[in-house]
Chains A and B, each alone.
Chain A
Protein backbone atom coordinates (compact mmCIF):
# COMPACT_ATOMS: atom_id res chain seq x y z
CA UNK A 1 0.00 0.00 0.00
CA UNK A 2 1.16 3.49 -0.68
CA UNK A 3 2.20 5.66 2.23
CA UNK A 4 1.40 8.93 0.51
CA UNK A 5 -1.08 9.03 -2.33
CA UNK A 6 -1.68 12.28 -4.16
CA UNK A 7 -4.42 12.03 -6.77
CA UNK A 8 -5.20 14.70 -9.36
CA UNK A 9 -4.04 17.54 -7.09
CA UNK A 10 -4.65 21.11 -8.25
CA UNK A 11 -3.48 24.21 -6.41
CA UNK A 12 -4.40 27.74 -7.44
CA UNK A 13 -3.73 31.27 -6.38
CA UNK A 14 -7.15 32.77 -6.96
CA UNK A 15 -7.96 31.99 -10.59
CA UNK A 16 -4.38 31.19 -11.46
CA UNK A 17 -3.68 27.45 -11.59
CA UNK A 18 -0.19 26.63 -10.29
CA UNK A 19 -0.39 22.89 -9.86
CA UNK A 20 -2.65 21.10 -12.30
CA UNK A 21 -3.53 17.45 -11.87
CA UNK A 22 -0.54 15.98 -10.08
CA UNK A 23 -0.77 12.31 -9.23
CA UNK A 24 2.00 10.83 -7.16
CA UNK A 25 2.48 7.99 -4.76
CA UNK A 26 5.21 7.03 -2.37
CA UNK A 27 5.60 3.63 -0.78
CA UNK A 28 7.01 3.04 2.67
CA UNK A 29 10.79 3.32 2.79
CA UNK A 30 11.08 4.64 -0.75
CA UNK A 31 13.03 7.72 -1.83
CA UNK A 32 11.20 9.65 -4.51
CA UNK A 33 12.64 12.72 -6.18
CA UNK A 34 10.39 15.47 -7.45
CA UNK A 35 12.36 17.34 -10.11
CA UNK A 36 11.65 20.49 -12.03
CA UNK A 37 12.63 24.09 -12.61
CA UNK A 38 11.59 26.91 -10.31
CA UNK A 39 7.89 27.51 -10.68
CA UNK A 40 7.08 24.00 -11.84
CA UNK A 41 4.92 23.45 -8.78
CA UNK A 42 7.07 20.92 -6.99
CA UNK A 43 7.27 22.78 -3.68
CA UNK A 44 3.55 23.53 -3.77
CA UNK A 45 2.81 19.85 -4.25
CA UNK A 46 4.89 19.04 -1.18
CA UNK A 47 3.43 21.86 0.91
CA UNK A 48 -0.09 20.71 0.06
CA UNK A 49 0.81 17.26 1.30
CA UNK A 50 1.74 18.65 4.70
CA UNK A 51 -1.06 21.23 4.69
CA UNK A 52 1.16 24.29 4.88
CA UNK A 53 0.26 26.19 1.72
CA UNK A 54 0.87 29.91 2.11
CA UNK A 55 -2.06 32.24 2.45
CA UNK A 56 -3.86 32.88 -0.84
CA UNK A 57 -3.09 29.43 -2.19
CA UNK A 58 -5.79 26.78 -2.14
CA UNK A 59 -6.14 23.18 -3.12
CA UNK A 60 -8.94 23.32 -5.67
CA UNK A 61 -9.13 19.68 -6.67
CA UNK A 62 -7.79 16.28 -5.82
CA UNK A 63 -7.15 13.86 -3.02
CA UNK A 64 -4.29 13.50 -0.61
CA UNK A 65 -4.15 10.34 1.46
CA UNK A 66 -1.44 9.67 3.97
CA UNK A 67 -1.23 6.26 5.55
CA UNK A 68 -4.76 5.56 4.33
CA UNK A 69 -6.33 8.64 5.91
CA UNK A 70 -7.60 11.53 3.84
CA UNK A 71 -6.35 15.04 4.48
CA UNK A 72 -8.61 16.93 2.17
CA UNK A 73 -12.31 17.51 1.92
CA UNK A 74 -14.87 15.53 3.87
CA UNK A 75 -13.74 13.33 6.73
CA UNK A 76 -10.34 14.98 6.60
CA UNK A 77 -8.13 14.10 9.52
CA UNK A 78 -6.52 16.66 11.74
CA UNK A 79 -3.11 17.26 10.23
CA UNK A 80 -1.73 18.57 13.52
CA UNK A 81 -1.77 15.02 14.89
CA UNK A 82 0.28 13.67 12.03
CA UNK A 83 2.63 16.56 11.35
CA UNK A 84 5.96 16.23 13.07
CA UNK A 85 5.09 12.71 14.14
CA UNK A 86 4.53 10.55 11.07
CA UNK A 87 5.14 13.29 8.56
CA UNK A 88 8.10 15.62 8.86
CA UNK A 89 9.60 18.27 6.64
CA UNK A 90 12.91 20.03 6.19
CA UNK A 91 13.33 23.30 4.35
CA UNK A 92 15.91 24.83 2.08
CA UNK A 93 17.20 27.58 4.34
CA UNK A 94 18.62 25.87 7.37
CA UNK A 95 19.62 29.01 9.27
CA UNK A 96 16.35 30.90 9.00
CA UNK A 97 14.35 27.74 9.58
CA UNK A 98 15.55 27.61 13.16
CA UNK A 99 14.26 29.90 15.88
CA UNK A 100 17.19 32.27 16.52
CA UNK A 101 16.38 32.58 20.22
CA UNK A 102 15.94 28.94 21.14
CA UNK A 103 18.76 26.51 21.95
CA UNK A 104 19.07 23.92 19.19
CA UNK A 105 18.59 21.01 21.59
CA UNK A 106 15.15 22.31 22.50
CA UNK A 107 14.28 22.74 18.83
CA UNK A 108 15.27 19.17 18.06
CA UNK A 109 13.20 17.97 21.01
CA UNK A 110 10.22 20.08 19.97
CA UNK A 111 8.20 17.48 18.06
CA UNK A 112 8.47 14.96 20.91
CA UNK A 113 7.27 17.58 23.39
CA UNK A 114 4.54 18.95 21.12
CA UNK A 115 3.06 15.50 20.62
CA UNK A 116 3.45 14.59 24.28
CA UNK A 117 5.48 11.51 23.39
CA UNK A 118 8.16 12.18 25.95
CA UNK A 119 8.72 14.30 29.03
CA UNK A 120 10.94 17.33 28.65
CA UNK A 121 13.85 15.51 30.29
CA UNK A 122 13.47 12.44 28.05
CA UNK A 123 13.05 14.60 24.97
CA UNK A 124 16.20 16.56 25.79
CA UNK A 125 18.09 13.30 26.23
CA UNK A 126 16.71 12.01 22.91
CA UNK A 127 17.62 15.31 21.21
CA UNK A 128 21.24 14.96 22.33
CA UNK A 129 21.32 11.39 20.96
CA UNK A 130 19.80 12.59 17.71
CA UNK A 131 22.34 15.42 17.38
CA UNK A 132 25.01 12.79 17.83
CA UNK A 133 23.43 10.64 15.11
CA UNK A 134 23.46 13.48 12.60
CA UNK A 135 27.15 13.93 13.29
CA UNK A 136 27.27 17.02 15.46
CA UNK A 137 30.39 16.80 17.61
CA UNK A 138 30.05 17.36 21.35
CA UNK A 139 26.24 17.23 21.16
CA UNK A 140 25.71 17.83 24.87
CA UNK A 141 27.39 21.23 24.71
CA UNK A 142 26.06 22.07 21.24
CA UNK A 143 22.49 21.42 22.37
CA UNK A 144 22.73 24.50 24.58
CA UNK A 145 23.86 26.74 21.73
CA UNK A 146 21.78 29.05 19.58
CA UNK A 147 21.55 28.64 15.78
CA UNK A 148 23.75 31.71 15.26
CA UNK A 149 26.64 29.85 16.87
CA UNK A 150 26.48 27.11 14.22
CA UNK A 151 27.43 27.00 10.56
CA UNK A 152 24.86 26.53 7.80
CA UNK A 153 25.75 22.88 7.36
CA UNK A 154 25.43 22.33 11.11
CA UNK A 155 22.04 24.03 11.10
CA UNK A 156 20.88 21.73 8.30
CA UNK A 157 21.98 18.76 10.40
CA UNK A 158 20.03 20.18 13.31
CA UNK A 159 16.95 20.48 11.11
CA UNK A 160 17.35 16.91 9.94
CA UNK A 161 17.69 15.81 13.55
CA UNK A 162 14.54 17.75 14.46
CA UNK A 163 12.62 16.17 11.58
CA UNK A 164 13.76 12.60 12.18
CA UNK A 165 13.70 12.46 15.99
CA UNK A 166 10.14 11.17 16.03
CA UNK A 167 10.96 8.50 13.43
CA UNK A 168 8.42 9.76 10.88
CA UNK A 169 7.08 7.45 8.17
CA UNK A 170 7.63 10.14 5.54
CA UNK A 171 10.14 12.95 5.33
CA UNK A 172 9.57 15.76 2.86
CA UNK A 173 12.86 17.44 2.02
CA UNK A 174 12.39 20.68 0.08
CA UNK A 175 15.71 21.38 -1.62
CA UNK A 176 17.60 20.52 1.55
CA UNK A 177 21.01 21.36 0.14
CA UNK A 178 20.54 24.43 -2.06
CA UNK A 179 21.90 26.79 0.60
CA UNK A 180 24.98 24.68 1.26
CA UNK A 181 28.29 24.36 -0.51
CA UNK A 182 28.98 21.27 -2.57
CA UNK A 183 31.14 19.33 -0.12
CA UNK A 184 28.57 19.76 2.63
CA UNK A 185 25.79 18.88 0.15
CA UNK A 186 27.12 15.38 -0.33
CA UNK A 187 27.44 14.84 3.42
CA UNK A 188 23.91 16.02 4.07
CA UNK A 189 22.44 13.86 1.32
CA UNK A 190 24.34 10.80 2.54
CA UNK A 191 23.08 11.55 6.02
CA UNK A 192 19.46 11.82 4.93
CA UNK A 193 19.55 8.58 2.95
CA UNK A 194 21.46 6.71 5.67
CA UNK A 195 19.07 7.78 8.42
CA UNK A 196 16.05 7.11 6.22
CA UNK A 197 17.30 3.59 5.50
CA UNK A 198 17.97 2.95 9.20
CA UNK A 199 14.51 4.00 10.34
CA UNK A 200 12.60 2.87 7.24
CA UNK A 201 11.52 6.44 6.50
CA UNK A 202 10.24 7.26 3.05
CA UNK A 203 11.62 10.48 1.56
CA UNK A 204 10.06 12.89 -0.90
CA UNK A 205 13.06 14.86 -2.13
CA UNK A 206 12.34 18.07 -3.96
CA UNK A 207 15.22 19.30 -6.05
CA UNK A 208 16.28 20.78 -9.33
CA UNK A 209 19.65 19.09 -9.24
CA UNK A 210 19.73 15.96 -11.42
CA UNK A 211 22.99 14.94 -9.73
CA UNK A 212 21.21 14.62 -6.40
CA UNK A 213 18.48 12.62 -8.06
CA UNK A 214 20.85 10.10 -9.60
CA UNK A 215 22.65 9.67 -6.32
CA UNK A 216 19.72 9.24 -3.98
CA UNK A 217 16.39 8.51 -5.51
CA UNK A 218 14.66 5.21 -6.17
CA UNK A 219 12.04 6.83 -8.34
CA UNK A 220 11.79 10.19 -10.10
CA UNK A 221 8.90 12.46 -10.98
CA UNK A 222 9.67 15.23 -13.43
CA UNK A 223 7.39 18.26 -13.23
CA UNK A 224 6.91 21.00 -15.74
CA UNK A 225 4.32 23.79 -15.69
CA UNK A 226 2.42 22.37 -12.76
CA UNK A 227 2.07 18.90 -14.25
CA UNK A 228 4.02 15.69 -14.01
CA UNK A 229 5.53 15.00 -17.43
CA UNK A 230 7.41 11.83 -16.68
CA UNK A 231 7.82 9.43 -13.83
CA UNK A 232 9.64 6.17 -13.37
CA UNK A 233 12.54 4.35 -11.76
CA UNK A 234 15.72 6.40 -11.58
CA UNK A 235 17.68 4.06 -13.91
CA UNK A 236 14.95 4.15 -16.53
CA UNK A 237 14.74 7.93 -16.48
CA UNK A 238 18.48 8.43 -16.71
CA UNK A 239 19.20 5.78 -19.34
CA UNK A 240 16.10 6.18 -21.49
CA UNK A 241 14.25 9.41 -20.84
CA UNK A 242 11.04 9.66 -22.86
CA UNK A 243 9.80 13.18 -22.40
CA UNK A 244 11.78 15.76 -24.43
CA UNK A 245 11.93 17.97 -21.32
CA UNK A 246 13.55 15.21 -19.27
CA UNK A 247 15.96 14.63 -22.11
CA UNK A 248 16.96 18.29 -22.19
CA UNK A 249 17.16 18.43 -18.40
CA UNK A 250 19.66 15.56 -18.48
CA UNK A 251 21.67 17.25 -21.20
CA UNK A 252 22.02 20.36 -19.02
CA UNK A 253 24.14 18.47 -16.48
CA UNK A 254 27.72 19.64 -17.12
CA UNK A 255 30.06 16.75 -17.83
CA UNK A 256 33.77 16.48 -17.26
CA UNK A 257 34.35 15.37 -20.86
CA UNK A 258 32.56 18.41 -22.21
CA UNK A 259 34.87 20.11 -24.73
CA UNK A 260 36.42 23.23 -23.14
CA UNK A 261 35.36 26.78 -24.10
CA UNK A 262 32.13 25.54 -25.61
CA UNK A 263 28.82 26.76 -24.28
CA UNK A 264 27.04 24.38 -21.98
CA UNK A 265 23.68 23.13 -23.14
CA UNK A 266 20.73 25.20 -22.00
CA UNK A 267 17.05 24.57 -22.63
CA UNK A 268 15.98 27.33 -25.06
CA UNK A 269 13.54 29.92 -23.79
CA UNK A 270 12.20 30.45 -20.30
CA UNK A 271 9.63 28.71 -18.17
CA UNK A 272 6.38 30.46 -19.12
CA UNK A 273 4.66 32.09 -16.16
CA UNK A 274 1.41 30.45 -15.04
CA UNK A 275 -0.44 33.41 -16.59
CA UNK A 276 0.86 32.51 -20.04
CA UNK A 277 0.75 28.76 -19.96
CA UNK A 278 0.21 27.47 -23.48
CA UNK A 279 -2.79 25.29 -24.22
CA UNK A 280 -2.12 21.62 -24.62
CA UNK A 281 1.28 20.35 -23.64
CA UNK A 282 2.86 23.08 -21.50
CA UNK A 283 6.31 22.37 -22.90
CA UNK A 284 5.25 23.00 -26.50
CA UNK A 285 6.72 26.52 -26.52
CA UNK A 286 10.26 25.18 -25.98
CA UNK A 287 10.09 21.70 -27.42
CA UNK A 288 12.04 20.68 -30.54
CA UNK A 289 9.65 17.81 -31.30
CA UNK A 290 6.48 19.87 -31.35
CA UNK A 291 3.70 19.07 -33.83
CA UNK A 292 0.06 20.03 -34.27
CA UNK A 293 -1.00 17.30 -31.85
CA UNK A 294 0.76 19.09 -29.04
CA UNK A 295 -2.06 21.62 -28.77
CA UNK A 296 -4.00 18.93 -26.98
CA UNK A 297 -3.13 17.87 -23.44
CA UNK A 298 -1.19 14.61 -23.48
CA UNK A 299 -2.22 12.03 -20.89
CA UNK A 300 0.32 10.45 -18.57
CA UNK A 301 0.56 6.96 -20.03
CA UNK A 302 2.61 3.89 -19.37
CA UNK A 303 2.84 1.35 -16.58
CA UNK A 304 5.98 1.70 -14.48
CA UNK A 305 7.61 4.38 -16.58
CA UNK A 306 4.93 6.95 -17.41
CA UNK A 307 5.19 9.88 -19.80
CA UNK A 308 2.88 12.65 -20.92
CA UNK A 309 4.07 13.22 -24.48
CA UNK A 310 2.81 12.55 -28.02
CA UNK A 311 6.33 12.30 -29.40
CA UNK A 312 8.43 10.53 -26.77
CA UNK A 313 12.19 10.20 -27.23
CA UNK A 314 12.00 6.43 -26.87
CA UNK A 315 9.06 4.11 -27.07
CA UNK A 316 7.83 2.10 -24.15
Chain B
Protein backbone atom coordinates (compact mmCIF):
# COMPACT_ATOMS: atom_id res chain seq x y z
CA UNK B 1 0.00 0.00 0.00
CA UNK B 2 1.37 3.30 -0.99
CA UNK B 3 -0.95 5.74 0.67
CA UNK B 4 0.09 9.33 0.80
CA UNK B 5 -0.08 10.17 4.46
CA UNK B 6 1.22 13.40 5.87
CA UNK B 7 4.52 12.41 7.38
CA UNK B 8 4.82 13.41 11.00
CA UNK B 9 8.23 14.16 12.32
CA UNK B 10 8.90 15.52 15.77
CA UNK B 11 11.80 17.60 14.56
CA UNK B 12 9.86 19.16 11.73
CA UNK B 13 6.89 20.04 13.90
CA UNK B 14 9.18 21.52 16.55
CA UNK B 15 10.81 23.64 13.89
CA UNK B 16 7.55 25.49 13.45
CA UNK B 17 6.91 26.56 16.99
CA UNK B 18 9.00 29.75 16.95
CA UNK B 19 6.98 30.93 13.96
CA UNK B 20 3.71 29.97 15.66
CA UNK B 21 4.75 31.75 18.83
CA UNK B 22 5.81 34.86 16.96
CA UNK B 23 2.56 34.83 14.99
CA UNK B 24 0.60 34.53 18.27
CA UNK B 25 2.42 37.50 19.79
CA UNK B 26 1.90 39.56 16.65
CA UNK B 27 -1.81 38.66 16.70
CA UNK B 28 -2.01 39.72 20.35
CA UNK B 29 -0.48 43.05 19.40
CA UNK B 30 -2.68 43.62 16.37
CA UNK B 31 -5.94 42.61 18.04
CA UNK B 32 -5.11 44.08 21.46
CA UNK B 33 -8.37 46.06 21.79
CA UNK B 34 -10.37 42.86 21.21
CA UNK B 35 -8.22 40.51 23.26
CA UNK B 36 -7.45 42.65 26.29
CA UNK B 37 -10.04 41.94 28.98
CA UNK B 38 -9.78 45.42 30.53
CA UNK B 39 -8.66 48.94 29.77
CA UNK B 40 -4.87 48.77 30.30
CA UNK B 41 -4.70 52.27 31.76
CA UNK B 42 -7.66 52.07 34.16
CA UNK B 43 -6.41 52.35 37.70
CA UNK B 44 -7.97 50.79 40.74
CA UNK B 45 -6.12 51.99 43.76
CA UNK B 46 -8.09 49.74 46.04
CA UNK B 47 -7.03 46.67 44.05
CA UNK B 48 -3.27 47.37 44.02
CA UNK B 49 -0.66 44.60 43.83
CA UNK B 50 -3.21 41.79 43.75
CA UNK B 51 -2.00 38.25 43.00
CA UNK B 52 -2.77 36.54 39.67
CA UNK B 53 -6.32 35.18 39.65
CA UNK B 54 -7.65 37.94 41.91
CA UNK B 55 -11.36 38.53 41.48
CA UNK B 56 -13.25 41.68 42.20
CA UNK B 57 -16.80 42.63 41.24
CA UNK B 58 -17.08 39.81 38.73
CA UNK B 59 -13.81 40.71 36.98
CA UNK B 60 -10.91 38.27 37.10
CA UNK B 61 -7.38 39.69 36.99
CA UNK B 62 -5.70 36.62 35.48
CA UNK B 63 -2.16 37.86 35.88
CA UNK B 64 -2.81 40.10 38.87
CA UNK B 65 -2.60 43.89 39.13
CA UNK B 66 0.29 46.33 39.30
CA UNK B 67 1.15 49.08 41.77
CA UNK B 68 -1.71 51.26 40.48
CA UNK B 69 -4.21 48.43 40.32
CA UNK B 70 -4.09 48.11 36.53
CA UNK B 71 -4.69 44.70 34.91
CA UNK B 72 -1.31 43.13 34.08
CA UNK B 73 -2.69 40.89 31.33
CA UNK B 74 -4.22 43.84 29.47
CA UNK B 75 -1.07 45.89 29.88
CA UNK B 76 0.96 42.94 28.65
CA UNK B 77 -1.16 42.62 25.51
CA UNK B 78 -0.98 46.35 24.80
CA UNK B 79 2.73 46.35 25.62
CA UNK B 80 3.29 43.79 22.84
CA UNK B 81 2.08 46.48 20.43
CA UNK B 82 4.86 48.82 21.48
CA UNK B 83 7.58 46.17 21.47
CA UNK B 84 6.64 44.74 18.09
CA UNK B 85 5.87 47.99 16.30
CA UNK B 86 9.06 49.67 17.51
CA UNK B 87 11.07 46.61 16.47
CA UNK B 88 9.39 46.32 13.06
CA UNK B 89 9.73 50.02 12.29
CA UNK B 90 13.34 50.30 13.38
CA UNK B 91 14.34 47.11 11.54
CA UNK B 92 12.65 48.43 8.39
CA UNK B 93 14.17 51.91 8.61
CA UNK B 94 17.67 50.85 9.56
CA UNK B 95 17.49 48.04 6.98
CA UNK B 96 16.52 50.41 4.18
CA UNK B 97 19.14 53.01 5.11
CA UNK B 98 21.87 50.44 5.74
CA UNK B 99 21.24 48.37 2.62
CA UNK B 100 21.12 51.47 0.43
CA UNK B 101 24.40 52.77 1.86
CA UNK B 102 26.09 49.37 1.71
CA UNK B 103 25.02 48.68 -1.88
CA UNK B 104 26.14 52.11 -3.08
CA UNK B 105 29.51 51.75 -1.35
CA UNK B 106 30.03 48.22 -2.65
CA UNK B 107 28.91 48.97 -6.19
CA UNK B 108 30.30 52.43 -6.89
CA UNK B 109 33.57 51.73 -5.06
CA UNK B 110 36.32 54.33 -5.07
CA UNK B 111 35.55 57.63 -3.42
CA UNK B 112 32.00 56.69 -2.39
CA UNK B 113 33.18 53.50 -0.79
CA UNK B 114 35.66 55.34 1.41
CA UNK B 115 33.19 58.04 2.41
CA UNK B 116 30.24 55.77 3.18
CA UNK B 117 32.11 52.96 4.89
CA UNK B 118 34.09 55.34 7.11
CA UNK B 119 30.76 56.90 8.06
CA UNK B 120 29.64 53.40 9.02
CA UNK B 121 32.75 53.01 11.17
CA UNK B 122 32.05 56.33 12.88
CA UNK B 123 28.49 55.32 13.71
CA UNK B 124 29.64 51.94 14.97
CA UNK B 125 32.02 53.66 17.37
CA UNK B 126 29.30 55.70 19.10
CA UNK B 127 27.91 53.85 22.15
CA UNK B 128 24.21 53.17 21.60
CA UNK B 129 23.12 54.26 25.05
CA UNK B 130 25.03 57.55 24.77
CA UNK B 131 23.41 58.24 21.41
CA UNK B 132 20.03 57.36 22.92
CA UNK B 133 20.48 59.77 25.81
CA UNK B 134 21.62 62.55 23.46
CA UNK B 135 18.69 61.98 21.12
CA UNK B 136 16.18 61.93 23.96
CA UNK B 137 17.77 65.04 25.43
CA UNK B 138 17.36 66.84 22.12
CA UNK B 139 14.08 65.42 20.83
CA UNK B 140 12.45 64.28 24.08
CA UNK B 141 11.33 60.74 24.81
CA UNK B 142 8.57 59.01 22.86
CA UNK B 143 7.67 56.25 20.44
CA UNK B 144 9.11 57.73 17.23
CA UNK B 145 12.22 59.00 18.92
CA UNK B 146 12.95 55.47 20.09
CA UNK B 147 12.62 54.34 16.47
CA UNK B 148 14.99 57.11 15.40
CA UNK B 149 17.55 56.17 18.06
CA UNK B 150 17.42 52.52 17.08
CA UNK B 151 17.72 53.34 13.39
CA UNK B 152 20.69 55.60 14.00
CA UNK B 153 22.50 52.95 16.01
CA UNK B 154 21.65 49.87 13.95
CA UNK B 155 21.86 50.84 10.25
CA UNK B 156 25.66 50.27 10.06
CA UNK B 157 25.16 46.56 10.69
CA UNK B 158 23.02 46.23 7.53
CA UNK B 159 25.40 48.49 5.63
CA UNK B 160 28.29 46.15 6.37
CA UNK B 161 26.43 43.03 5.31
CA UNK B 162 25.01 44.67 2.18
CA UNK B 163 28.45 46.09 1.36
CA UNK B 164 30.21 42.73 1.60
CA UNK B 165 27.53 40.94 -0.36
CA UNK B 166 27.48 43.65 -3.04
CA UNK B 167 31.24 43.40 -3.41
CA UNK B 168 30.98 39.71 -4.22
CA UNK B 169 27.80 39.87 -6.30
CA UNK B 170 29.07 42.94 -8.16
CA UNK B 171 32.02 40.94 -9.46
CA UNK B 172 29.80 38.31 -11.03
CA UNK B 173 29.57 38.39 -14.82
CA UNK B 174 25.83 39.00 -14.99
CA UNK B 175 26.33 42.39 -13.39
CA UNK B 176 28.93 43.30 -16.03
CA UNK B 177 26.54 42.02 -18.66
CA UNK B 178 23.73 44.23 -17.43
CA UNK B 179 26.14 47.17 -17.58
CA UNK B 180 26.96 46.09 -21.13
CA UNK B 181 23.23 46.24 -21.82
CA UNK B 182 23.27 49.87 -20.82
CA UNK B 183 21.57 49.46 -17.43
CA UNK B 184 21.80 52.55 -15.22
CA UNK B 185 23.24 52.38 -11.70
CA UNK B 186 19.84 52.41 -9.93
CA UNK B 187 18.53 49.75 -12.27
CA UNK B 188 21.53 47.45 -11.85
CA UNK B 189 21.33 47.85 -8.07
CA UNK B 190 17.59 47.33 -7.84
CA UNK B 191 17.04 44.62 -10.43
CA UNK B 192 20.29 42.66 -10.30
CA UNK B 193 22.12 43.27 -7.02
CA UNK B 194 19.33 43.62 -4.45
CA UNK B 195 17.57 40.30 -5.16
CA UNK B 196 20.92 38.54 -4.96
CA UNK B 197 21.96 40.00 -1.61
CA UNK B 198 18.59 40.06 0.14
CA UNK B 199 18.93 36.59 1.72
CA UNK B 200 21.78 37.40 4.14
CA UNK B 201 20.19 40.80 4.81
CA UNK B 202 16.97 39.07 5.88
CA UNK B 203 18.91 36.83 8.25
CA UNK B 204 20.44 39.90 9.87
CA UNK B 205 17.06 41.62 9.99
CA UNK B 206 15.47 38.69 11.82
CA UNK B 207 18.22 38.54 14.40
CA UNK B 208 18.14 42.32 14.71
CA UNK B 209 14.40 42.16 15.37
CA UNK B 210 15.02 40.34 18.63
CA UNK B 211 17.74 42.80 19.53
CA UNK B 212 15.44 45.76 18.79
CA UNK B 213 12.82 44.35 21.14
CA UNK B 214 15.44 44.21 23.88
CA UNK B 215 16.79 47.69 23.05
CA UNK B 216 13.31 49.18 23.22
CA UNK B 217 12.72 47.48 26.57
CA UNK B 218 16.10 48.73 27.77
CA UNK B 219 15.37 52.32 26.75
CA UNK B 220 11.94 52.20 28.36
CA UNK B 221 13.47 50.61 31.45
CA UNK B 222 15.79 53.62 31.68
CA UNK B 223 12.87 55.95 31.15
CA UNK B 224 14.16 57.03 27.74
CA UNK B 225 11.51 55.22 25.75
CA UNK B 226 7.76 55.23 25.60
CA UNK B 227 6.37 57.32 28.46
CA UNK B 228 3.78 56.29 31.05
CA UNK B 229 0.97 55.58 31.22
CA UNK B 230 1.42 53.80 27.85
CA UNK B 231 2.09 50.14 28.57
CA UNK B 232 5.55 48.97 27.56
CA UNK B 233 7.25 45.78 28.65
CA UNK B 234 10.45 47.60 29.48
CA UNK B 235 8.67 50.18 31.63
CA UNK B 236 6.67 47.42 33.36
CA UNK B 237 9.90 45.65 34.20
CA UNK B 238 11.31 48.89 35.53
CA UNK B 239 8.46 49.59 37.94
CA UNK B 240 8.03 45.92 38.76
CA UNK B 241 11.62 45.81 39.93
CA UNK B 242 10.66 47.82 43.04
CA UNK B 243 8.06 45.22 44.03
CA UNK B 244 9.92 42.03 43.14
CA UNK B 245 10.06 40.90 46.77
CA UNK B 246 6.37 41.47 47.41
CA UNK B 247 4.63 41.26 44.00
CA UNK B 248 6.75 39.10 41.72
CA UNK B 249 4.15 39.02 38.95
CA UNK B 250 4.58 42.66 37.89
CA UNK B 251 8.09 42.16 36.53
CA UNK B 252 7.90 38.46 35.75
CA UNK B 253 5.21 38.45 33.05
CA UNK B 254 6.65 41.24 30.87
CA UNK B 255 10.03 39.56 31.30
CA UNK B 256 8.53 36.29 30.12
CA UNK B 257 6.94 38.09 27.17
CA UNK B 258 10.28 39.59 26.17
CA UNK B 259 11.97 36.24 26.57
CA UNK B 260 9.50 34.45 24.30
CA UNK B 261 9.43 37.20 21.66
CA UNK B 262 13.22 37.47 21.42
CA UNK B 263 13.66 33.71 21.56
CA UNK B 264 11.24 33.08 18.71
CA UNK B 265 12.81 35.82 16.57
CA UNK B 266 16.30 34.44 17.18
CA UNK B 267 15.31 30.85 16.49
CA UNK B 268 13.74 31.92 13.21
CA UNK B 269 16.87 33.91 12.41
CA UNK B 270 19.08 30.93 13.14
CA UNK B 271 17.02 28.71 10.92
CA UNK B 272 17.06 31.30 8.16
CA UNK B 273 20.81 31.61 8.38
CA UNK B 274 21.14 27.82 8.21
CA UNK B 275 18.99 27.78 5.09
CA UNK B 276 20.35 30.88 3.40
CA UNK B 277 23.84 30.73 4.81
CA UNK B 278 26.32 33.45 5.74
CA UNK B 279 25.30 36.97 6.64
CA UNK B 280 26.20 37.00 10.34
Binding site for B on A (CB under 8 A): 50, 52, 55, 80-85, 88-89, 91, 93, 96-102, 110-111, 114-115, 159, 162
Contact = CB atoms under 8 A, between A and B. Distances in A.
B195 A91 contact: no
A114 B181 contact: yes
Interface of B: 109-110, 172-174, 176-184, 187, 191-192, 195-196
B196 A111 contact: no
B184 A99 contact: no
Contacts of B179: 52, 83
Contacts of A52: 176, 179-180
A111 B174 contact: no
Nearest to B109: A55
Given A91-B176, A93-B173, A99 B181 contact: no
A80 B172 CA distance: 20
Contacts of B177: 89, 91, 97-98, 159, 162
Contacts of A91: 173, 176-177
A310 B176 CA distance: 40
Nearest to B181: A84
Nearest to A111: B181
B197 to A, nearest CB: 10
A100 B109 CA distance: 23
Contacts, number: 63
A99 B176 contact: no
Closest 8 CB pairs of A and B: A84-B182, A84-B181, A83-B182, A97-B173, A111-B181, A89-B180, A101-B195, A99-B174
Contacts of A162: 177, 181
B235 to A, nearest CB: 44
16 contacts: A52-B180, A55-B109, A80-B182, A80-B184, A83-B181, A83-B182, A84-B180, A91-B173, A91-B177, A97-B174, A99-B178, A102-B191, A102-B192, A110-B183, A114-B182, A114-B187
B247 to A, nearest CB: 54
Nearest to A55: B109
Nearest to A86: B182
B182 A50 contact: no
B196 A100 contact: yes
A88 B173 contact: no
Residue from A88, A100, A101 having most chain B Cβ neighbours under 10 A:
A101
Nearest to B172: A96
B173 A115 contact: no
Contact of A110 (B173, B176, B178, B196): B178
Nearest to A80: B182
B170 to A, nearest CB: 10
B201 to A, nearest CB: 14
Given A100-B196, A114-B181, 16 more contacts: A50-B180, A52-B176, A52-B179, A55-B110, A80-B184, A83-B180, A85-B182, A88-B180, A89-B177, A91-B177, A97-B173, A98-B177, A99-B174, A111-B181, A114-B183, A115-B182
A88 B184 CA distance: 15
Residue from A85, A111, A114, A159 having most chain B Cβ neighbours under 10 A:
A114
Nearest to B180: A89
A111 to B, nearest CB: 4
B166 to A, nearest CB: 14
A85 B181 CA distance: 7
A81 B180 CA distance: 11
A103 to B, nearest CB: 12
Contacts of A98: 174, 177
A50 B187 CA distance: 19
Contacts of A97: 173-174, 176-177
A89 B176 CA distance: 10
Nearest to B185: A80
Contact of A99 (B109, B180, B182, B192): B192
Contacts of A83: 179-182
Contacts of A80: 182, 184
Contacts of A115: 182
Contacts of A102: 191-192, 195
Contacts of B196: 99-101
Contacts of B181: 83-84, 88, 110-111, 114, 162
B220 to A, nearest CB: 40
A101 B180 CA distance: 19
A84 B187 CA distance: 14
